[in-house]
Amino acid sequence: MNTVTLNNGVEMPQTGYGVYQVSPAECERCVSDALSVGYRMIDTAQAYHNEEGVGNAVRKSGISRQEIFLVSKVWISNYGYEKAKTSIDESLRKLQTHYIDLMLLHQPFCDRYGAYRALEEAYKEGKLRAIGVSNFYPDHFIDIASNMEIVPAVNQVETHVFDQQTEPQKIMEEFGTRIMSWGPLAEGRNNLFTNPILAEIGHKYGKSVAQVALRWLIQRGVIIIPKSTHIERMRQNIDIFDFTLSDEDMAAIATLDTGKSLFFDHHDAETTRMFMGWR
């Protein structure tokens, strides 16, 4: 499994297992399966309501805590310094751990500055090994990276073959921040799994469309967290390190970029109204 080095020297697996939309009832089983087939990074969030399932699976796995990289995120209802500080301790309790390897702010709304100060403090106290943000577009990202004491180690944003985030990735790299993809398979939207360009490339290497799409991200230096509730697909999603896409393959896939979200635009007024309803 590849690792990447964050801007504070912490080593992070480049491929992990995401539990977005995994029900609390299923989460422990799914994370246990993921760990059993080789995943060593698990991505959860307060808003997913399944941190307890992740914690249970890690505790019961028999794998040393030091070998597992845990990621979670503070939700906007817990923004502001005091509330974020309390919520970090609650996430530690639910995950049954003394530290979280990477903690992110989940959205660029509400009092993100106060919440980020809480991340900085928890980092200095050793409760968090690295801190960062999620869904921060270049303007949001440059603002917080320029004005807070600790530059985010990671920015997790929608990134896949149809929304490639090429220019935002360059801006993150100016600050030493790693790009992390949510929705690396676009949740199958835009007919990803039958895309003819990806299928043709996959045929050449004896790989699936999904494996080609994930390998393309890996070769760009993107951190990925594909999700499946099926153990065989979990295996397939990490079986991407025995082939390398050619420059021609990479260029062909680059032509699929639409430059637009398939989910929601964080600069759109209606998107902001939606998130205000989730506080």
How far are the Cα atoms of 86, 101, 206, 232 from residue 44, in angstroms, in the given order?
18, 12, 32, 21
CA 85 – CA 83 distance, rounded (Å): 5
- Judge residue 104's burial from the number of C-beta atoms within 10 Å of its C-beta, 0-12 exposed, 13-18 middle, 19 or more buried: buried
Cβ atoms of 14 and 1 within 8 Å: the answer is yes
CA 77 – CA 58 distance, rounded (Å): 27
- Bridge partner residues of 15 (DSSP): 224
Question: Do the annotations mark residue 106 as ligand-binding?
Answer: yes
How far are the Cα atoms of 47, 134, 175 from residue 171, in angstroms, in the given order?
28, 15, 7
Point out the catalytic residue in the list 17, 48, 116, 123: 48
CA 166 – CA 256 distance, rounded (Å): 12
CA 154 – CA 117 distance, rounded (Å): 16
Structure token digits, residue 134? 């999620």
Please confirm, yes or no, whether 48 is among the known catalytic residues: yes
Numbered residues of the known binding site: 106
Numbered residues of the known binding site for substrate: 106
Q: Point out the residues that are catalytic.
A: 48
